[in-house]
Copies of this chain bind each other. A is one copy, B any other.
Amino acid sequence: MRVRRANSREKILAAAADVAREAGPGSLSLEAVASRAGVSKGGLLYNFPTKAKLMQGLVESYLNNFQKALEARAAAAGHEGVLSAYIKLSADDCEQPKPSASWMFSAIAEDPDFLTPIKAFKRQLFERLKEETNDLGSLLVCFLAIEGMRSMNLFDSDVLSQGERELLVASLLKIAG
């Protein structure tokens, strides 16, 4: 699959995420994305023949980035375990006040099934973490607390202060051992 001229795919995916984040998930129209990406509607539909394909692309790209980031962290401090890497990665991800994944809401509105790969990924991650630990209770608490942190960030819910978030991460790392 050679690429002759420019490839707008990445540009379009980034633009879609930007539009959803800045204009709200309800404003994620093809025209808005195309305009943001500096591409015409026709060009957009050339790269993603359907809106569903665009959503799918967003999910895949999100999952790839996450996987890569997690692997990098786990490799960097390998002896500490994947759970710690996951905690730290999530903590960093949640530093941004505006969630980078608002497009998820658009995807759900379009069709809840778009999130299936994400669910599968999470299940897989959870299984991997289960193999690593011997205290299932602690793992559950940590895993769900991270989930809660990510969810709050996604919903742009600033219930926790900076200090509280740091304390939370510290507590989780302690529980994780």
- A25–B138 alpha-carbon span in the complex (Å): 34
Residue of B nearest to A172 (CB): B141
Residue of B nearest to A170 (CB): B137
Point out which of A123, A144, A151, A158 has the most chain B C-beta atoms below 10 A from its C-beta.
A144
Interface residues of A in 5-39 (CB under 8 A from B): 24-26
Q: Does A109 belong to the interface (CB within 8 Å)?
A: yes
CB distance from A75 to the nearest CB of B (A): 25
B26, B111, B148: which contacts A144 (Cβ < 8 A)?
A: B148
A interface, CB within 8 angstroms of B? 24-26, 105-106, 108-112, 115, 119, 122-123, 126, 136-138, 140-141, 143-152, 155-160, 164, 167-168, 170-172, 175
Please provide the 4 A-B residue pairs with the shortest distance between their CB atoms, ordered closest to farther: A147-B148, A148-B148, A151-B151, A144-B148
